[in-house]
Chains A and B, each alone.
Chain A
Amino acid sequence: MSRRLYDLAHCRAGDKGDTSILSLIAYREEDYALLREHVTADAVAQHLSGIITGKVRRYEMPTLGALQFVCERALSGGVTTSLALDAHGKTLSYALLEMQIEA
């Protein structure tokens, strides 16, 4: 069954220079294992390949039921000199939640 992350988790985007930091927090604790299994760093890099061009690192936060994705070269050169309308990449939270997993 195909499931959209939007239905399983919530996300807030943060930024540091040209790096976007995306949390993925399970609404229900029992879904954390599912997210951990399916939402790998590679899968996220693939999903966001039209937006971010650098590496994606993933951190696991089991006590919070959350994953953290740190995405390099994600903000068209960085917050302070990007020409993008959303220079901080604030809306990238909802780009991540568009992702679908087979679970």
Chain B
Amino acid sequence: MTRAADTVRIGSGAGFAGDRLEPALLLAERGNLDYLALECLAERTIALAQLRKRRDPTEGYDALLKRRVAMLLPALKKQGVRLVSNFGAANPQAGAEVILDVARQQGLSVKVAIVAGDDVLDQMHGDRIALETGQPLSAFGELISANAYLGADAIIPALETGADIVITGRVADPSLFVAPVAHYFGWRVSDLDRMARATAVGHLLECAAQVTGGYFADPGRKDVPDIANIGFPFADVDAEGNAVLGKVEGTGGAITLATVKEQLLYEASDPGAYLTPDVTADFTAIQLRQVAHDRVSIEGARANGKSPTLKVSIGYLAGYLGEGELSYAGRNALARAKLAGKIIRERLAHSFSELRIDYIGSTSSHGRSFDASEHPYEVRLRVAARARSADEASLVGEEVEALYLNGPAGGGGARKYVVEQIGIVSTLLDRSEVSTSVTLKDWTNEPATV
């Protein structure tokens, strides 16, 4: 696949922990990439991984790590593509061991660099303040994880080792892309305008298909071709940090000004000050151009300073969510569902401090703001409550299920769930309070001596 000289090509092979596996393989095999990055950590993912690590010290990396690496490693080695991923989650060391196991099984030599230092749980004293609520951390449930968002400056030394795979825990999502670009061109991390431009590119890539037509389609209004086979994106980034987005030829999806704009603004709570550990980036003067079919160029992000602090994401045990659901259909469906809701409220309100009753198909998403139609053909009752224990939470589903014999006419399709809840709050640490390190592990396939 052709590209401009003096650019580095980096692909995005996963946009969340549960993302599809095979688009990354397609990128590695046919994308003509230099680097492939996989973003696998949502806010709660690392806290859940920490719970797994507590139970078993060899666990706590991304649940799909082994499958992803086993699928990708031959193509990465054959094509000379280097992989960078936060799929180490709560235990990058153990994740690296799994990668070596895969390499041994496949008879492929591999060098893995592990980035550590994001785990700052030991430093989270109860009197630190949560940014969201202004309360001390001791006001929340038991803290189970605290991870600083590391930046490109923590990842670049790992790339300098020449490792085939760089595995990290919590890093800022765009930094997964900024680091390889900065390393490739030899930028200093103090070169903030370049870091800002690369950060905008990283932000566009970090959610994978969300820039190639995923999470975009609206039939008849915003159509996306061959969406079932949507291709994941790559960017050709030049030495200034300007870039052109693309995807592998023959894949589905689309890269248009509209798809790129949606992703550029996604989660930017201040487009003039998009905060990462690398730079505070100003997106307000960004210029996008459709330079070819499924190719959009981006330039014009600027630096707006750099924060002296790092954000820390803290996971805490927030009790249990109990849920129960039941459907009603046909004449008077909503009225019957509401009678069921009334019964549940009467029976459970005294047991739970927070009880929520939704009518799916009518008011569950936006309340009665825009359509209070009393006549949906079918409606699904949903009851949710928070509880301190799993036993207490299970009461919700039990009560909903009991509506079969004790509630209004025609209820069907009962389901009940109990889910352990992880809450997330954040705080700030001075950069000097976070120290990072890189360690190497490798396995070499020695030819047998004769």
Interface residues of A (CB under 8 A from B): 6, 10-12, 14-19, 21, 23, 25, 27, 48, 50-51, 59-61, 63-66, 68, 70, 78-81, 83-86, 91-92, 95, 98
Contact = CB atoms under 8 A, between A and B. Distances in A.
Given A50-B366, A91-B365, A95-B366, A61 B265 contact: yes
12 contacts: A6-B221, A10-B262, A18-B132, A23-B261, A59-B270, A63-B288, A65-B261, A68-B268, A70-B269, A80-B421, A85-B360, A85-B384
B247 interface: no
Nearest to A47: B369
A59 B215 contact: no
A66 to B, nearest CB: 6
Contacts of B265: 12, 14, 21, 23, 25, 61, 64, 66, 68
Given A21-B269, A64-B286, A80-B44, 5 more contacts: A14-B267, A68-B265, A70-B270, A91-B365, A98-B370
Contacts of A16: 267, 269
A85 B365 contact: yes
Interface in B249-294: 258, 261-272, 283-288
* Most chain A beta-carbon contacts within 10 A, residue among B265, B268, B354: B265
Which among A11, A61, A70, A84 has the highest number of chain B CB atoms within 10 Å? A61
Given A14-B267, A51-B366, A66-B265, A83 B386 contact: yes
B369 A27 contact: no
Given A17-B132, A64-B261, A50 B267 contact: no
The 4 closest A-B pairs by CB, nearest first: A14-B267, A23-B265, A50-B369, A83-B356
Q: Which of B258, B261, B384 has the most CB of A within 10 A?
A: B261
Contacts of A81: 318, 386, 421, 423
Interface string B206-218: 0000000001101
A80 B317 CA distance: 11
Interface residues of B, number: 50
A12 B384 contact: no
B305 interface: no
Interface in B380-407: 382, 384-386
A66 B284 contact: no
Nearest to A11: B262
**Which of B258, B267, B426 has the most chain A CB atoms closer than 10 A to its own CB?**
B267
Interface of B: 43-44, 132, 215-216, 218, 221-222, 258, 261-272, 283-288, 300, 318, 321, 354, 356, 358, 360, 364-370, 382, 384-386, 421-424, 426
A84 to B, nearest CB: 7
A98 B284 CA distance: 26
Contacts of B384: 83-85
Contacts of B385: 83
A66 B284 CA distance: 10
A66 B263 CA distance: 12
A23 B286 contact: no
Contact of A15 (B267, B288, B382): B267
Contact of A48 (B216, B222, B268, B369): B369
A42 B424 CA distance: 30
Given A21-B268, A81-B386, A63 B321 contact: no
B270 A80 contact: no
Contacts of A92: 366
Given A21-B269, A25-B262, A66-B261, A80 B284 contact: no
B285 to A, nearest CB: 6
Given A23-B261, A59-B270, A80 B423 contact: yes
Contact of B364 (A27, A59, A64, A85): A85
A64 B300 CA distance: 12
Contacts of A19: 269
B373 to A, nearest CB: 14
B333 to A, nearest CB: 18
Contacts of A59: 270-272, 284
Contacts of A68: 265, 268, 271
Contacts of A95: 365-366, 369-370
A63 B258 contact: no
A59 B272 CA distance: 8
By CB atoms of chain A within 10 A, which of B268, B269, B300, B358 has the most?
Answer: B269
A50 B368 contact: yes
Contact of B321 (A50, A70, A83): A83
A61 B271 contact: yes
A78 B422 CA distance: 12
Nearest to B421: A81
